[in-house]
Amino acid sequence: MSLLELTDKLIQWVSEMARTQGYSPEWAGFFTAIAIMLAVGGFVLGFISVVAMLLIWMERKVSGHMQSRIGPNRVGPFGLFQSIADAVKLLLKEDIAPKMVDKPVWWLAPIIIVVPAVLSFLCFPFHKGWIPLDLNLGLLFIMAIGSVSVIAIFMAGYGSNNKYSLIGGMRTVAQIISYEVPAILAIVPVVMLAGSLSFGQIIEAQSFRWNLFSLWGIVSFIIYVISGTAEINRTPFDIPEAESELVAGYHTEYSGMKFALFFVAEYTNMVIVSMIASAVFLGGYYLPFGLGASPVWMLLKVFAMIFLLMWFRWTFPRLRVDQMMIFGWKVLLPISFANIAWVGIWMALKL
């Protein structure tokens, strides 16, 4: 059943309901509009929750095997239902609000942090023509939306009214704003060569040769993966929530469902960063050298990228704050500028 038929069924069902309740056609249309918006929102929220649960299970398995353990193996086959059990536990947990927190800010932070994660799926390129909305400037849109999450993290850090959380929040501001610059600059050469910011056109430009198969492509890819890891606060850049220094950083004071929302956002952002890396550098749904195209390759690439990020987490030690800042501004930024200049000169010579 196609998506259009599905929405048509929904429209029929809701307007039928509105008619039996004795509402006018205008009101029926209004209710249908609200129903469609709620249905889409609910679907995306459910989707990202399931993906996050799957990834949490995956991370525990990966970390277990990297440390010569087995990981979760009791609940369900291969411990697959462990995440569901955890989710039920988090849902049923008492919601504790510390006495001295800045209530409105503290309450809103976990809600706001999910918003960019949900919105980013708007441009997820599953397959040729299977992009929910192939915006003219999809890449810029995702980058812009991603920069909103820093506000939520800072709100959590500030609203908790706790020294460790505040330090975590301040570190996040410094880190995300610093690493956003190389992350965007690493993508600029791709945009220059493809001549477009839309995911569809960038992937079409790689139908034969991925962007990774060139010197500038490798450099851009490495810069993007490093700064992407930093933007989603994962080890070796998990300075905002460094356990050994800051208890749990910005989410120290959260428990139950609020904590779960931070978790969902973290894993969804991981999917988004992997999606951008695979769409922009790894050819999206295309195999190299015209060997074929399928949404399966896209998903496989995304999962390979997620595995890479998990591999980083369990094998690298955490950076110090000053090392992190120096690495971002004095190493990644000049290299990405040199990379852009190199691609620009190459384009000028070729034309």
Q: Which residues bind other proteins (CB under 8 A)?
A: 8, 11-12, 15-16, 19, 25, 28-30, 32-34, 36-37, 102, 104-105, 135-137, 140-141, 143-145, 147-148, 150-151, 154-155, 158, 166, 170, 173, 177, 180, 196-197
Q: To the nearest whole angstrom, how small is the minimum distance from the Cβ of residue 280 to other proteins?
A: 17
Comparison of 10 and 85: residue with beta carbon closer to other proteins: 10
The residue among 48 and 184 lying less far from other proteins, judged by its C-beta, is 184
Q: What is the radius of gyration, based on Cα positions, of the chain?
A: 22
Alpha-carbon torsion (252, 258, 263, 266), positive or negative: negative
Amino acid in position 11: I
43 burial type by CB count under 10 A (0-12 exposed, 13-18 middle, 19+ buried): exposed
Bridge partners of 293? Answer: 286
Helix (H, G, I), strand (E, B) or coil at 293: strand
Smallest separation, CB 67 to other proteins (Å): 36
254, 156 Cβ separation under 8 angstroms: yes
Which residue, 55 or 143, has its beta carbon nearer to other proteins? 143
Question: What is the amino acid identity at position 213?
Answer: F
In the bound complex, what is the minimum distance in angstroms from residue 154's beta carbon to other proteins? 6
Please report how close the Cβ of residue 21 comes to other proteins at its closest, in angstroms. 12
In DSSP notation, 16-33 reads: HHHHHTT--HHHHHHHHH
Nearer to other proteins, 83 or 336 (CB): 336
Q: Could you tell me if 261 and 114 are in contact, meaning their C-beta atoms sit under 8 angstroms apart?
A: yes
Distance in angstroms (rounded) separating the CA atoms of residues 250 and 231: 15
Closest distance of CB 263 from other proteins, Å: 22
Cα distances (angstroms) measured from residue 230 to each of 172, 312, 314, 320, 331: 10, 11, 15, 13, 14
How far apart (Å, rounded) are the C-alpha atoms in residues 279 and 295?
12
In the complex, least distance from residue 274 CB atom to other proteins, rounded to whole angstroms: 21
Nearer to other proteins, 102 or 243 (CB): 102
| 173 versus 335: smaller Cβ distance to other proteins | 173
Burial of 20 (0-12, 13-18, 19+ CB in 10 A): exposed
When the beta carbons of 16 and 243 are compared against other proteins, the nearer one is 16
Of 197 and 270, which has the nearer Cβ to other proteins?
197
Min separation Cβ 115 and other proteins, Å: 10
Provide CB contacts within 8 A for 67, sequence distance 6+: 314
CB 13 within 8 A of CB 28: no
150 vs 264, beta carbon nearer other proteins:
150
CB of 239 to other proteins, least distance (A): 16
CB contact at 8 A, 131 and 3: no
Q: How far is the CB of 228 from other proteins (least distance, A)?
A: 16
In eight-state DSSP terms, residue 125 is -
Contact 289, 283 (CB under 8 A): no
